[in-house]
Structure 1
Amino acid sequence: MPEPTPDTLPLIHSSFYRFVALPAPDAVVEILRELVAPLTGSVLVAHEGISGALAATEPLLAAFEHAVQHDPRLGGAFLGMPFKHSACTTRPFWKVRVHRKDEIVALGVDGVTGVVRDRAEGKHLSPSAWRDLLAQDKVVVIDNRNSFEYRLGRFKNAIDPRVDNFRDFPAYVQAHADTWKAEGQRVAMYCTGGIRCEKTSAWMQHELGLDVYQLDGGIVNFFQALPDADRDWEGELFVFDNRVAIDTHLQETATTADQVYNDSPDERWRLERARRLDSVNPKT
């Protein structure tokens, strides 16, 4: 059997983020555009940090992940940043882009940033500690994602806030915060890779007085860390690329975009966008 070549190696998907103050985000954009040139996917850059999803062969991905952590022009801002990998059957992306944004994830609450000095590190739970928390009493488990993501898969007994956009999530929390506190409930919150929870958790703790715990690294980290993740998870995990969904073993499923979305106005445009991508790269 011939040895694999760079053109025949399988693609790997890598997702990552870091909230860190970037005084010169435009300069970071230019550096990252150079570093991601051989890959596909997208990276967002803002004053509050970076967030990205990229795909490439293992050698190219490893080279990028080393460079983004050690390039002297970046001053160590991303040293030690975690990268979460999953397999690819379908090519996740067709192009590569680095975007300059006001926020890497837009919460819609004035003054809230992901860069928090006094964040309660003990409230970031490892996958095994998260599993233990889910089995305890007086814990309300909140899915910090959109409803179409929740429908496809969720932690057992998790609540769907029924939001169509991340910006709707704060209103849901504000409407229930007093009840949760009065009942002595701890809030266990999770999202795909951790970034949405990271943006909201400090606000929920400091401004609303909630006792909040979050799954460190999100659902992808839970799947990556626990071979028996299906003990706690029902269904599949939606991913924001051409693969559509993965299972608890981080393998792409046969689920299509038409099976994910319903007829709500917010989801209709998402489905049309997904269909345009499928016309270029249909799932088989």
Structure 2
Amino acid sequence: MRVAFIGLGVMGFPMAGHLAAAGHEVRVFNRSPDKARRWAEQHAGTACDSPGAAAQGAHLVALCVGADPDVRGLVPRLLPVLAPGALIVDHTTTSAELARDMAAQAAASGCSFLDAPVSGGQAGAEAGRLTVMCGGDPEAFARAEPVIASYARAIRLMGGPGAGQLTKMVNQIAIAGVVQGLAEALHFTRRAGLDPAEVLAAISQGAAQSWQMDNRWPTMAEGRFDFGFAVDWMRKDLGLVLDEAARNGARLDLTRQVDAWYEEVQALGGGRWDTSSLLTRLEPPR
């Protein structure tokens, strides 16, 4: 399939690479041209100097950009140059409202739009083992699924337009609470005079076990936060969550509090630290 990939950040760069490895004809665009050229040097694909050039005649264009305004600015520019009946698969984490608007615009142009936010982080993108939560038309999903499978291990259609973004919001709510719990648990461990490694070995085999515990407890114990999903990004996502909760009436007391604590981490200079840096509110990095 002729595919365009727009947005070569820590997620998009390896995701586009998996598409090329799967045999698709891939053209890429990134706001930093050097990154697009570097991608083309490493993979069988073409770096383009504009989103329109990348998307010209494409059967599917994947977006992995920053936020709602980026997607809203791109989609109207892409629709006129895509192949008839083409798919836009948006991996950006955005509002559900934006996803519904973009789906309507695409349909009016004879194309399809899937909101398809991802979970799994940079490591999941590099390993091709992301989880993708989709919203949109079932027929469009059926056409996109084999392509998305190049970089995902779990792909699920959650409902109509916007349903993928709403599911990603659920994901972020759950992560926020778990990471705060881990920060307090590790802080308590040290105050109690226990060995963090021994505590992890004991409790990670029981009901407290989670992906966050397995992957973030050791780095939190070492005071390492210069990697992973940035606090700035998490606050963007939690902002979307809280806006949606204001519309649907959900009561998110813990999520609202954790968002405020992430604001404290930003004030400490940790905007680009991993989300596990909630621990720095309780004890300074080592």
TM-score relative to the length of structure 2: 0.31
Between 1 and 2, higher relative CO (CA 8 Å, sep ≥ 6) is seen in: 1
Which is richer in helix? 2
Q: TM-score, normalised by structure 1?
A: 0.31
Structure (1/2) with the larger strand percentage? 1
